[in-house]
Amino acid sequence: MVRTVAVRGVDLRLVVAVAAVWILWGSTFAALRYSVATMPPFVLASARFILAGALLYALCAARGRARPTRDDLVRAAITGTTLLLLGNGVVVWTVQFLPTGINSLLLSLSAVWMALIAFAWDRERPSHVALAGMLMGLVGMVLLLQPKAIAALPLWPAVLALLASISWAFGSVYQRRAPRSSDLMLATALQMLIGGALLAVEAALFGEWRGFDVHAVAAASWGGFAWLVIFGSVFAFSAYLYVMQFASTALASTYAYVNPMVAVILGMVLFHERFTLLEAVAGAFILAGVALMMVPYRLSTTASR
């Protein structure tokens, strides 16, 4: 009886959205590597989100729903800053220096930060199993960033990638707790447009616009950029916002341990990246810890069904 109800109650849109977040976001690390080879990172990030946001806003206008409220703009400003400027924008910079697998593993710790922020926000207590998973994730982080391991990696890019995961976690928790927008597509468009505008300012502050030569961009970089705009932003980011609003925190956070696996595989195939034994052990701790954090929530969801 329970299984029948669960099968009949499957939201196919949610299944597609989760799959898009898992696979497409995992592929964006490789697309970023191709793009930043001949494009300045903040120019790339700004153009990506402004273009994707403009496409979504045009769709909203065609539907007669391009009328944001003041609350919509406030939410978009907060999430555009935390998710795109301080989260994704920093990652675009760090991908120049860190292997895609290491970068994605550091970002996967956002699931741990999300649990801690949720507890601080409204005392949402994790279960004992989830606490064990958090501890495993933190142990993996310590192994990944301990002196012997970090000696082979640039320190500041690794630290900034870790801070980006914390900013992303805060924006994600806020996204879940803020009042829902009347139109998810409009909310996504506004978030991208505001985040892209902030990234454009950042690119100007770092002098990237002055040194940017569009004719010097290689074909592979344009291909990576197109992938980021269409699949990484319009499809996958919109899917993520849908998952954050209509799925449990556990399901919404599963990307944190699926994306690194996709990124690691693509990094090994496309860029011939290799993990040291210590990095592999640290990665196993992080992914197992994040996965363990999801177990009790999935069980409780099945029981309630």
CB 161 within 8 A of CB 108: no
Structure tokens at 5: 């109800």
User: What stretch of H or E contains 243?
Assistant: helix 236-246
Angle at 183 between CA 123 and CA 198, to 5 degrees: 75
| d(C-alpha 206, C-alpha 200), whole Å | 10
pLDDT of residue 64: 86
pLDDT of residue 288: 84
Residue written as tokens 């924008």? 89
Identify residue 67 by its one-letter amino acid code: R
pLDDT of residue 10: 61
Structure tokens at 148: 């012997």
| d(C-alpha 249, C-alpha 60), whole Å | 28
pLDDT of residue 133: 81
- Within the chain, which residues score under 70 in pLDDT? 1-10, 124, 147-152, 249-250, 253, 294-305
pLDDT of residue 300: 38
Identify residue 204 by its one-letter amino acid code: A
In this structure, the number of other CB atoms found within 10 A of the CB of residue 269 comes to 10
For the entire predicted model, the pTM comes to: 0.80
Classify residue 97 by burial, with Cβ atoms within 10 Å: 0-12, 13-18, 19+. Answer: middle
User: What stretch of H or E contains 210?
Assistant: helix 208-211
Backbone angles phi, psi at 69, to 5 degrees: -90, 175
| d(C-alpha 195, C-alpha 199), whole Å | 6
